[in-house]
Amino acid sequence: MNADTIAAMLVVMRKELADLFRDKRTIRITLMMSVFTPLLMLGIIALTQNRVSSQLEKPLRLPVVGAQYAPNLVDWLRGQNVDVRPPPVDPDAAIRAQDEDVILSIDKGYADDWRAGTPAQVEMILDSSRQDSQIPVERLQNLLENYGRTVASLRLLVRGVSPAIASPVRVARRDLATPESKRGLALSFLPYLLILGAFLGSASLVIDATAGERERQSLEPLLATPAARGAIMSGKIAAACILGLLNVVLTLVLFKLAFTYGPATGIVFDVSFLTIAKLLLVLLPMVLLGTTLLTLIAASSKSVKEAQSYMSVLMMLPIIPTVMLMVNPIKNQLWQFAVPFLAQNQLIMKLLRAEDVTANEWGMYLLASFGLGAVLWAIAARLYHREKLAVSA
C-alpha cells in the first residue's frame, strides 16, 4: 500500500467520521448500547439476587393437605420458618394457575405407617417447569429430608444403636471454585452482550456509508475520483472500526464503573485495567469482523432497507455459542479459539473466571480472527470494483 493509497484512505475515513458526528442523534443512538449493556446486566443481577434472598429469608408459604394426619411434622415445619396454610379446594388447579408454588400432601395412612416403623408417605405437588418456584420447592425438599434424617437418628438411639451405623460412608466436598470462577458463572450471559456490541456496534455507519450513499446516489461521484476503490472502501471500514472500538471501550469502562460504584449485587466485579485491556483485545477482532461483513452485505444490497433486513440474522450469530454451551457444555480445546463467536465466548469466560489464557490460545485466536477479517476485507474490496455498485437500482 503506497502513500497515495494511505492518504486517500485517511481522507475517506475523516469524511465518514465527520458526517457521522455531524448527526448528533445517530451518535447518541449508536452509543446508547454502550450505556445500556452494563446497566442491563447490573439490573438483571440485582433483580436475581433480590428474588433469591427474599425467597430464602421470608417464611415459606406452604398449603398442607391432610395436616391432621401428621401433626408432629406440621408443628416441626412451623418451627422452621414455614407458614403452614389450609389447602386449596383443588391443589392441582392451584399449582397450574400459579396461585401456589408448592403444596404438601400427607397420605391418610401416614400415622399407621409411622407407628409401624415403615416409610410414611408425603407428596410434594409442584410444577417443575416454573423457574420461580424452584427455590420454595428446594426449601421444602431439604426440610423434609432433614426431618427424615432426624427421626431416623432418634429411632436408632432409642434402640441403643449409633446413628453413625446408618452412614457407612461420609462424603465430604472440597470445592476448588474461586470467587472469580463463581463470578464468571453468574455472568455467563455477559459474553453475548459484549460480542453483540462489538459485532454490530458500527452497523449504522457501515450501512449508511455504502448502501445509504448508493441509494442517495452520492457514492458514484466518490468512486469517480482518482482514488483507488480499495482505498475508499478501506477508509469507510476504518471509520466504522473506530466507531465500533469507541463503543467497546465505553462499554468496558462503564461496565467496570457500574460494578465498582453501583448498588450492591452480591457479586464483586472490580477487574483490573489489565483484564479490561485483555477483554478489549478479545473484542477488537470482532469489531473488524463485524464491519467487514456488514460492508460486504451493504455493498451487495440495493438499498438501506435491504441491508438492514440482514440485521435480525446477524444478531442471532453471537447467541449460537451461548445456547450451544448451555445445552452441551464442553471443555476448552485449542480448535475452539479458531471458531468465530465461540472463541470470543470462551476467552471472555476465561478472563471473567481469572483463568490464564495460554500463548497458543491467544495465537490461534488472533491469527484466525484477523485472518478471517482480512479475507472478508478482500471480498468487500472486490465488490467495490464492480461498476454497478455506483448505480442505485
pLDDT at 60: 87
pTM recorded for the entire structure: 0.69
pLDDT tens digits along 359-385: 999 999 999 999 999 998 888 888 777
pLDDT in tens, 147-190: 988 888 888 888 888 777 777 777 777 766 666 556 655 566 77
Half-sphere exposure of 11 (CA within 13 A, CB side): 14
Where are the domain boundaries for CATH 3.40.1710.10 in the chain? 58-150
Question: How does DSSP assign 34-77, residue by residue?
Answer: HHHHHHHHHHHHHHHHHHHHHHHHS-EEEEEETGGG-HHHHHHH
Q: Domain spanning 58-150: which CATH class is it, in words?
A: alpha beta
Q: What is the mean pLDDT of each run of 10 residues along the chain (393 residues)?
A: 76 82 76 74 70 71 91 91 91 90 91 86 89 85 90 82 77 68 63 84 82 74 74 85 88 78 57 82 92 86 81 83 73 86 87 84 93 89 70 54
Task: Provide the pLDDT for residue 123.
Answer: 92
